[in-house]
């Protein structure tokens, strides 16, 4: 870790920064109230404080007093939740809250109500588990019977509780004499916020595919250890929602039939006929005396009450019913429910809450992650959150294998699965010349000692080399709970070691200093890096590192990664595969990685890697250094279009267009022609075109047409050069047909002179022959490998 004085200087510097939030490509700027700056974007709120403001001390004292009250306020609201739920069966309450705030159907990617908290049902479940059973704890009043369960009142209270937790988490662990933001504590706070609100950024089908890849070879061992394998776990998880909705449908059908019987009884009463003995005669008589429209409205209200008051109980199921729905043996379903369920009165953190509720506050949702299915104690079950079950399968199966003798084999297997998937995705996207996994080599360290090294993935595409380090390990439960020492150790294992290994592989393999290079089978490898001008270093994780990967620069600010070295692009395997699939070609993928490297240097922040990528497709993910020198850029809500497209592709909602970068027709044609040229540096050439803004791209296309007209006029060769950002230049030569053979030499001479004169890192020359409709005949690319990777 960095020295305390250095970390304090960094904190003060960052604390004075203002924030700009962007969503959907639109900037949203905030307002300043004394020392407080507020930026609101949709439902997202970003707050920063000027510690040098003259009113800061008074503001901070008032703020701290409010923060200190967070636990007491949470306990009070928790009591209100318990009282609102008291007259109702726990299953009915949980289902009502989930129906209000959960993602109930794929044709609508947003919940029915967005003014609460997405994991409200899990929080309410945590409160209800204080009971010894799911039954009501008191009789409802007439008003409570009439009104029924109010999920919005519960959701609003949960939202108020959760809203205070992140800043309270931060402040309660901050030293009194600390000024400004502590980067390490901010990292832990982001992890805490992520664990509070987000189940996973991964799409369901990606997680399902990964579970099969990881665990299918170990089905027998899993069945022996916990009673079910990955395929059975997925079948059971996928049967949960349909089974619950089947119960809801049955309840709705019963309510409809009861309403029809009431309507028939009322009609009979109006005709002077008797009321069936199994129906309440007084109520039927009262309704029969009302106008028909009023009576019909009463029946509709009664139907709603019948559904709401017991729908959770009807939606619950037994292990045998779940087994039948999933087509697995009953014993398998029982084992699955035993792994994911919790009985009332047996919540894992109940002792902590009984001993010291104030200290226990803040860990409610973390406690619910491991057991998101409620066990009624009478053989009936109800899930509080379906996605938590899905994203919990990997942990349950992994922990089961840790207790078996095949654990070392599984550990090697998951590492191999990760590196193979990562390398295959990148190599396919780049149309690589060659790729290898598990490359071993020997190198001499800075002390002159010979050591062994390994590169999980090595890829070459033209003048580009890509090094991949795959980290298949995960965060331990204590690290996920943000325990400082355990989290730091985990980040060192997953991210810091990946950075060091990538640095070592670049110095040894790409620069030709490695010896005894072999594949994983021990066979000698001859890796050709001659002519490589740029190396991309990518660290790929199996664990969801969304709180850290999009803001890897915070690890530098916290002292975990060096500030004087270029850190790798850190990305999860699911996000990597999506980006490789959605990128329009090799150059777009490379250009995105370069823009992400720029985003790291500029300290841009996003909730999710796909927010970065969708922002890139929308407007290039480019922010000028001068514009953000005192501003922190935060990206929000850029993935709605991606969600709609991917769910549409799977038939889960109407189809939409594939997300892609808007590129003008002439520029797209130019890129297509460059991609078709037999030149090892064509990816770099395309990247230079992509690096330009729209105006620059138009100048290239219009410049070719202008040169054609000039050659037409005087039959002499002409050229133009367009410089960009004092970084690179693009030159175009157009010659008469008679000088066609001179084009390569003309371009080469021009490029050498231009690069030397302007001190450029890269230069692109395009050769066109008059009368050939602007078709590129030849291309020359000049790169300075010693400077290319430094912005």
pLDDT for 8 beyond 50: no
* pTM (2 d.p.): 0.88
Q: pLDDT digits over 116-141, tens only?
A: 788 999 999 999 999 999 999 998 88
Average pLDDT, integer, range 64-90: 93
Give the least confident one: 38-52, 229-243, 722-736: 38-52
Q: Which residue has the higher pLDDT, 68 or 158?
A: 158
- Split at pLDDT 50, 70, 90, the class of 28 is very low
Residues 146, 309 contacting (CB under 8 angstroms): no
**What is the CATH T-level fold of the domain 409-582, as seen in this structure?**
Trna Endonuclease; Chain: A, domain 1 (3.40.1350)
Structure confidence at residue 38 (pLDDT): 56
pLDDT tens, position by position, 531-567: 999 999 999 999 989 889 888 988 998 999 998 888 9
Of residues 55 and 478, more confidently modeled: 478
Judge whether residue 427 has pLDDT over 70.
yes
Per-residue pLDDT tens for 161-181? 998 888 888 888 876 555 566
Give the DSSP letter string of 15-29: HT-EEEEEETTEEE-
Question: 375 is written with which tokens?
Answer: 């066990």
Whole-number average pLDDT of the chain: 87
Please give the pLDDT value at position 269.
Answer: 79
Q: What is the pLDDT of residue 627?
A: 72
Residue spans per domain, the chain: 4-47+55-66, 70-242+318-402, 409-582, 665-783
pLDDT tens, residue by residue, 762-776:
999 999 999 988 899
CA atoms of 269 and 276, how far apart (whole Å): 10
User: Token pair of 621, please?
Assistant: 């993910």
Q: What is the pLDDT of residue 13?
A: 44
Kindly report, residue by residue over 249-260, the tens digit of the pLDDT: 877 677 677 777
Report the range of poorest mean pLDDT among 201-215, 428-442, 596-610, 661-675.
596-610
Token pair listed for 513: 């200093």
Q: What is the DSSP string of 679-704?
A: -TTHHHHHHHHHHS-HHHHHHHHHHH
CA distance 392 to 385: 11
- What pLDDT score does 175 carry? 62
| pLDDT value, residue 746 | 94
Q: 248-257, 437-446, 497-506, 588-597: which range is least confident on average?
A: 248-257
Q: Which of 6-20, 209-223, 280-294, 526-540 has the lowest mean pLDDT?
A: 6-20
Q: Could you read off the pLDDT of 570-587 as tens digits, one per residue?
A: 999 999 999 999 999 999
Residue 68 has pLDDT above 90, yes or no: no
Radius of gyration of the chain (CA): 31
Q: Which residue has the tokens 């795959």?
A: 470
Which of 598, 590, 473 minimizes the C-alpha distance to 533? 590
**Which pLDDT score, from 0 to 100, does residue 35 have?**
67
- From CA 600, how far away is CA 554, in angstroms rounded? 9
The length of the chain in residues reads 791
**pLDDT, position 24:** 54
pLDDT number for residue 379: 96
Does residue 344 register a pLDDT over 90? yes
On the question of pLDDT at 371 being above 70, the answer is: yes
180 closest CA partner among 7, 59, 45: 7
Average pLDDT of the segment spanning 505-521: 92
Give the strand order in the sheet containing 718-724.
718-724, 728-735, 762-769, 776-783
Q: Is the pLDDT of residue 46 over 80?
A: no
Q: Is residue 144 over pLDDT 60?
A: yes
Tokens found for residue 311: 């729908």
Helix (H, G, I), strand (E, B) or coil at 486: helix
Burial of 277 (0-12, 13-18, 19+ CB in 10 A): exposed
Highest mean pLDDT among 96-110, 308-322, 501-515: 501-515
* Mean pLDDT of the region 684-697: 93
Give the neighbor-by-neighbor strand order of the sheet with 515-518. Answer: 515-518, 434-444, 450-461, 464-471, 534-541, 569-572
Between 327 and 65, whose confidence is greater? 327
Token digits for 272? 């002077």
Q: What is the reported pLDDT for 215?
A: 98
Phi-psi region of 443 (alpha: psi -120 to 50; beta: other; left: phi over 0): beta
């Amino acid at each position: 870790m960095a020295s305390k004085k250095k970390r304090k200087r960094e904190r003060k510097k960052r604390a004075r920064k203002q924030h700009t939030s962007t969503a959907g490509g639109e900037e949203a700027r905030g307002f300043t109230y004394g020392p407080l700056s507020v930026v609101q974007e949709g439902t997202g709120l970003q707050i920063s404080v000027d510690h040098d403001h003259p009113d800061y001390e008074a503001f901070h004292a008032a703020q701290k007093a409010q923060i200190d009250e967070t636990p007491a306020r949470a306990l009070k609201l928790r009591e209100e939740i318990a009282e609102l739920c008291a007259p109702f069966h726990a299953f009915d309450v949980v289902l009502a809250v989930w129906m209000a705030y959960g993602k109930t159907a794929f044709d609508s990617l947003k919940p029915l109500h967005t003014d609460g908290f997405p994991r409200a049902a899990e929080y309410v479940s945590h409160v209800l588990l204080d009971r010894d059973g799911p039954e009501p704890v008191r009789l409802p009043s007439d008003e409570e019977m009439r009104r029924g369960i109010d999920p919005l009142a519960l959701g609003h209270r949960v939202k108020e509780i959760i809203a205070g937790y992140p800043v309270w988490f931060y402040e309660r662990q901050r030293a009194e004499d600390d000024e400004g933001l502590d980067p390490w504590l901010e990292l832990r706070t982001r992890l805490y916020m992520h664990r509070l609100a987000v189940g996973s950024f991964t799409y369901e089908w990606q997680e399902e595919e990964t579970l099969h890849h990881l665990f299918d070879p170990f089905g027998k061992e899993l069945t022996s250890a916990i009673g079910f394998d990955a395929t059975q776990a997925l079948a059971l998880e996928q049967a949960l929602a349909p089974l619950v909705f089947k119960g809801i449908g049955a309840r709705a059908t019963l309510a409809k039939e009861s309403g029809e019987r009431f309507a028939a009884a009322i009609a009979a009463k109006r005709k002077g006929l008797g009321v069936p003995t199994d129906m309440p005669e007084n109520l039927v008589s009262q309704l029969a005396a009302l106008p028909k429209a009023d009576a019909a409205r009463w029946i509709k209200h009664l139907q709603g009450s019948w559904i709401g008051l017991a729908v959770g109980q009807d939606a619950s199921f037994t292990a045998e019913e779940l087994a039948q729905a999933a087509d697995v043996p009953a014993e398998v379903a029982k084992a699955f429910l035993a792994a994911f369920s919790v009985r009332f009165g047996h919540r894992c953190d109940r002792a902590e809450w009984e001993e010291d509720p104030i200290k226990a506050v803040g860990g409610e949702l973390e406690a619910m992650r491991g057991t998101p299915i409620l066990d009624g104690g009478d053989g009936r079950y109800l899930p509080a959150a379906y996605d938590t079950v899905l994203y919990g399968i990997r942990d349950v199966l992994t922990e089961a294998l840790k207790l078996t003798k095949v654990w070392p084999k599984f550990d090697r297997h998951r590492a191999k699965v990760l590196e193979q998937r990562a390398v295959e995705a990148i190599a396919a996207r780049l149309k690589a010349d060659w790729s290898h996994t598990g490359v071993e080599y020997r190198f001499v360290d800075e002390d002159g000692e010979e050591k062994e090294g390994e590169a999980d993935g090595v890829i070459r595409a033209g003048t580009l080399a890509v090094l991949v380090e795959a980290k298949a390990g995960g965060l331990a439960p204590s690290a996920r709970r943000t325990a400082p020492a355990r989290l730091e150790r985990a980040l060192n294992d997953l991210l810091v070691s990946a950075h060091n290994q990538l640095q070592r592989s670049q110095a040894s393999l790409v620069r030709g200093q490695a010896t005894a290079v072999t594949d994983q089978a021990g066979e000698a490898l001859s890796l050709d890096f001659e002519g490589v001008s740029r190396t991309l270093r990518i660290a790929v994780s199996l664990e969801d590192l969304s709180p850290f990967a999009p803001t890897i620069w915070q690890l530098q600010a916290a002292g975990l990664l060096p500030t004087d070295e270029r850190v790798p692009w850190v990305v999860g395997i699911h996000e990597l595969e999506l980006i490789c699939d959605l990128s329009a070609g090799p150059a777009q993928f490379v250009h995105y990685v370069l823009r992400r490297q720029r985003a790291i240097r500029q300290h841009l922040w996003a909730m999710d890697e796909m927010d970065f990528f969708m922002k890139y497709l929308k407007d290039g993910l480019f922010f000028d250094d001068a514009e953000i020198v005192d501003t922190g850029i935060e990206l929000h809500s850029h993935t709605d279009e991606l969600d709609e497209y991917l769910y549409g592709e799977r038939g889960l909602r109407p189809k939409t267009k594939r997300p892609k970068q808007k590129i003008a027709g002439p520029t797209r044609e130019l890129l297509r022609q460059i991609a078709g040229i037999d030149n090892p540096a064509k990816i770099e050439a395309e990247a230079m075109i992509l690096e330009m803004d729209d105006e620059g791209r138009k100048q290239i296309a219009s410049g070719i047409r202008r040169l054609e007209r000039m050659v037409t006029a005087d039959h002499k060769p002409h050229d133009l050069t367009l410089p960009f950002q004092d970084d690179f230049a693009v030159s175009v030569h157009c010659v008469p047909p008679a000088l066609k053979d001179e084009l390569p030499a003309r371009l080469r001479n021009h490029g050498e002179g231009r690069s030397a004169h302007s001190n450029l890192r890269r230069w692109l020359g395009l050769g066109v022959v008059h009368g050939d409709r602007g078709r590129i005949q030849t291309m020359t690319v000049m790169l300075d490998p010693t400077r290319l990777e430094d912005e």
